[in-house]
């Protein structure tokens, strides 16, 4: 077991369905291996405040089906400073915590990487974000649940769009990546999908509408990623309204409902796998790495690669979406 006797676990950044399943996986794998476990409340802020809670097996009972995170999450500007990280280190040492599992996204891993460059307590990351935009893993916790939430909502919007011959711009999450928009657009039969990764002709809404007119389409669903350079769904709808004044246009912003809800079976199983793998990585003396899933198998990716390299959308799916919208 080496030097690892007690580990901490925290959730940081935006919450995502399945984080609780990961916490459960970490806690019970650690206990199975004879380790002590400490839950750290409110992410890195809890590390600075020494907000620690001893975890037992019963501490994670009846949480696998719950959205959000029982450990809470928060942004922490203080952890960006050397002084803040020093205070966090001192608190970890005083609590005799030998390693930390961080469940979060790019920002969380950047903080963990900086910490590991300065101090001797190893950090291992688990990708937790509904955006599915972290390099080195096919999957991030919460993506599958969020995607299904969007599909269910858009299916209902489609009903009223068809009933009233309306055009709906539906804005989904994805500040810097279009994974939710692309997959939900294909799954719901959207007439157009607008994501940050597409430029020029590939995002020509006017052309799409004109082609739809020739095919006698009476209603349209346009999925827009919130981070798109066009300014989001409202800005795009205003522009289209000025060009096609006869269209009855509506906008629906799905917002934070995409973050909530009971996690899907896929999110529960994969989060449990990643929680287990993170503890195993610490036992094996790994540090400054993320555990991910590639081609169905657990993989280890250095934080420096996970946060510095961009994960692109599948371009064949972009082409598929275009073909299926005719």
The catalytic site residues sit at 131
The 167-172 sheet, strands edge to edge: 192-194, 220-225, 167-172, 249-253
Contact call for residues 141 and 126 (beta carbons, < 8 A): yes
Burial of 77 (0-12, 13-18, 19+ CB in 10 A): exposed
Task: List C-alpha distances in Å: 176 to 83, 124, 180, 241, 311.
Answer: 30, 24, 11, 26, 10
Distance CA(145)–CA(216), nearest Å, equals 34
Distance CA(21)–CA(263), nearest Å, equals 9
Q: Is the dihedral of CA 60, 143, 281, 294 positive or negative?
A: positive
DSSP secondary structure string for all residues of 136-167: T-S--BTHHHHHHHHHHHHHHHHHHHHHHT-E
Radius of gyration of the chain (CA): 22
To which residue do tokens 């972009």 refer?
A: 318
To which residue do tokens 């195993």 refer?
A: 280
Contact call for residues 188 and 154 (beta carbons, < 8 A): yes
Please give the structure tokens belonging to residue 73.
Answer: 């999450």
Distance CA(53)–CA(71), nearest Å, equals 9
The residues with which 36 forms a beta bridge, in sequence order, are 6
Length of the chain: 326
């Amino acid at each position: 077991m080496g030097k690892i006797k007690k580990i901490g676990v925290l959730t940081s950044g935006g919450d995502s369905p399945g984080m609780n399943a990961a916490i459960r996986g970490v806690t019970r794998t650690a206990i199975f291996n004879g380790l002590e476990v400490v839950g750290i409340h409110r992410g890195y802020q809890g590390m600075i405040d020494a907000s620690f809670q001893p975890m037992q097996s019963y501490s994670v009972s009846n949480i696998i089906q719950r959205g959000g995170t029982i450990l809470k999450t928060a942004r922490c500007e203080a952890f960006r400073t050397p002084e803040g990280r020093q205070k966090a280190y001192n608190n970890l040492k005083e609590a005799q915590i030998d390693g930390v599992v961080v469940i979060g996204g790019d920002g969380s891993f950047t903080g963990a990487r900086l910490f590991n460059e300065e101090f001797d307590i190893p950090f291992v990351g688990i990708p937790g974000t509904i955006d599915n935009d972290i390099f080195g893993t096919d999957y991030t916790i919460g993506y599958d649940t969020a995607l299904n939430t969007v599909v269910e909502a858009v299916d209902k919007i489609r009903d009223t769009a068809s009933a009233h011959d309306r055009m709906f711009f539906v804005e989904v999450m994805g500040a810097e990546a279009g994974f939710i928009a692309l997959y939900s657009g294909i799954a719901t039969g959207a007439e157009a999908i607008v994501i940050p990764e597409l430029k020029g002709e590939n995002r020509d809404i006017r052309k799409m509408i004109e082609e739809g007119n020739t095919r006698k389409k009476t209603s349209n669903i346009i999925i827009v990623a919130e981070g798109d350079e066009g300014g989001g769904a409202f800005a795009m709808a205003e522009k289209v309204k000025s060009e096609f004044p006869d269209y009855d246009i509506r906008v629906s912003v799905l917002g934070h409902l995409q973050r909530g809800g009971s996690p899907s079976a896929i999110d529960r199983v994969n989060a449990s796998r990643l929680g287990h793998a993170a503890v195993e990585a610490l036992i094996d003396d790994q540090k400054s790495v993320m555990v991910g899933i590639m081609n169905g198998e657990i993989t280890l990716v250095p934080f420096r690669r996970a946060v510095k390299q961009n994960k692109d959308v599948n371009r064949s799916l972009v082409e598929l979406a275009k073909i299926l919208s005719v």
